[in-house]
Amino acid sequence: MEFIVDAQNIRKSVKSKNKNQPDIKILRDVNFQATAGEFVSILGPSGSGKTTLLRCISGLTRPTSGQVTIAGKSLGTSSERQLARLRRTTISYIFQSYNLLPALPAYDNIVLPLRLSHQKINRHDVKKLMDDFNFQAALSQYPAELSGGEQQKVAIARALMMHAQVIFADEPTGALDSLSRQLIFSKLRELTKFGVCVVMVTHDIEQASQTDRSLILRDGRLVQEFTHPSEQTLLEAMHLAEKVSS
Ligand SMILES: Nc1ncnc2c1ncn2[C@@H]1O[C@H](COP(=O)(O)OP(=O)(O)OP(=O)(O)O)[C@@H](O)[C@H]1O
Ligand SMILES: [Mg+2]
C-alpha cells in the first residue's frame, strides 16, 4: 500500500518551564498513515495533542523524534527551503486559529498563497467557492470586520485554492453554524473523490462518523482506530478517552 502520509514513531517533547521537572511528553510514539483519496478524522479530549500531531505530520513542526514522509518526500532530511516548497505545492493546512493576515481584505487573504507561488488567479473561482460556502460578507472586508465563522470560511478557502494533494484541517468547522458545517464538510468529501487526502481534527462526532476512518488520541497516544464508525461507537470511545484522561 502506497501512503501519501506516512509518519512513524512520532514523539514530541517540550522543555518544562520548571527546570527541575522532566520534559513534557506531548506525543508518545504515534504511527499514522493515510492514502490518497482517504478522509481521516482525529478525535480526542482537549489537550490530548491533536494540534501538535497535525503540525508534526504536516511538516509545520519538527517532531522530537520519528520520521514523516509526504508524497514520497522525507521531511526529516528536507531543508527548511524544501519543506517550504512542499508546503506550497503539495500540502494545505487549515489552522484552528485561522491565521489570517489582519492587514489584508478577505479576498487577498484567500489568494495570497497563489500570489506567493506565482499562480494564476481567477476571481470568478474565488467568488464561486465563497458562494458555495454561503459566505455572506463582502470579500473586501478585513478579518477584524468578519465574524468568527466568516473568518473560518476565508481560512478554508485559502487552503483549498492551492489544489493540494493533502489537506490538514484543524477543527475546520468549529466556529460554524450547522448549515455551513455541512457545506464545508461536503466540499472536503468531494475533494477526496478526486484523490485528495484529508486529515481532519474534529470534536464533531457526527462529522467524524461520515469519514473513512477515525482515530482517537488520548494523552499523546493513538489509542483506538475505527473504519467507517457509527456515531454511537465514537461517542462511547470518546466518553472512555475523556474519563481516562481526567
Ligand atoms: N509549545 C508548547 N509548549 C508547552 N506545552 C505545549 C506546547 N504545545 C502544546 N503544549 C501542550 O501539549 C498538550 C497538547 O496540546 P495540543 O494543542 O496539541 O492539544 P489539542 O488536542 O489540539 O487540544 P484542543 O482540543 O484544545 O485544541 C497541551 O497540554 C498543551 O498545553
Ligand atoms: Mg487543538
- Encode pLDDT of 182-207 as tens digits: 999 999 999 999 999 999 999 999 99
pLDDT of 246 strictly over 80: no
Ligand 1: which atom is nearest the Cα of residue 54? Answer: 18
**C-alpha cell, 223:** 489509542
pLDDT at 84: 86
Residues 6 or more apart from 33 whose CB is under 8 A from it?
A: 1, 3, 5, 6, 7
Please state, in angstroms and as integers, the Cα–Cα distance from residue 60 to each residue in 57, 89, 140, 200, 203, following that order: 8, 14, 29, 15, 22
- What's the topology of domain 5-10+27-245? Rossmann fold (3.40.50)
> If you take atom 30 of ligand 1, which residue's CA is the nearest one?
47
**What band does 124 get if pLDDT is binned at 50, 70 and 90?**
very high
Using most ligand atoms within 8 A of CB, pick from 12, 28, 50, 52 the residue to mutate for ligand 1: 52
Each domain of the chain, given as residue ranges in start order, spans 5-10+27-245
- Amino acid of residue 176: L
Ligand 1: which atom is nearest the Cα of residue 49? Answer: 18
Residues lining ligand 1, Cβ inside 6 A: 14, 24, 26, 44, 46-52, 96
Per the rule left: phi > 0, alpha: psi between -120 and 50, beta: everything else, 85 is alpha
**Listed residue (213, 159, 233) closest to 39, CA to CA:** 213
Place of cell 503539495: 90
| CA of residue 220 to ligand 1 center, whole Å | 10
What is the overall mean pLDDT for the chain? Answer: 95
The pLDDT tens digits for 207-224 are: 999 999 999 999 999 999
Q: Which ligand is nearest to the CA of 44?
A: 1
